[in-house]
Structure 1
């Protein structure tokens, strides 16, 4: 009879350990997912800033060329 009690206890301990491993795995996956999401947001922001900078630079270059052309009498 005592052997049955030990077997039950062993199964309970193994079940609890497995639950702890599963919970730890789920928590680790959540951390990985959050890190990936933060990385994606950072990449999106960097792309946005790069595009805005490129647009601004192109606009400034166009304005400078236009001003130069007007000074030289090439543009009206």
Structure 2
């Protein structure tokens, strides 16, 4: 009879352990998903900022060359 009680206790401990492992795995996956999302947002922002800087620089260079061309009389 005592071995039946021990067997039941063992099964309860195993079930509880499995539930903890499952919950921990789910929590870890949420952390990974959130970190991935944050990283993606950061990369999107860097990409956008870089593109804006490149566009601004290209416009400034174009204006500078146009001004230079006018000074040399190549453009009107």
Structure-2-length-normalised TM-score? 0.95
Equivalent residue number for residue 51 of structure 1: 51
1:32-72, CA deviations, whole angstroms, 9 ceiling, x for partnerless residues?
11111111111111110110000000000000011111111
Q: Secondary structure at the match of 1:26?
A: helix
Name stretches of at least 5 consecutive residues in structure 2 with no aligned partner. none
State how 1:1-76 maps to structure 2 within 5 Å: 1-76=1-76
Matched residues, number: 76
Partner Cα distance (2:61, 2:40) in 1: 31
**Structure 1 stretches of 4+ moved >2 Å:** none
Name stretches of at least 5 consecutive residues in structure 1 with no aligned partner. none
Partner Cα distance (1:36, 1:18) in 2: 27
Measured on the aligned residues, the alpha-carbon RMSD in Å equals 0.7
Structure-1-length-normalised TM-score? 0.95
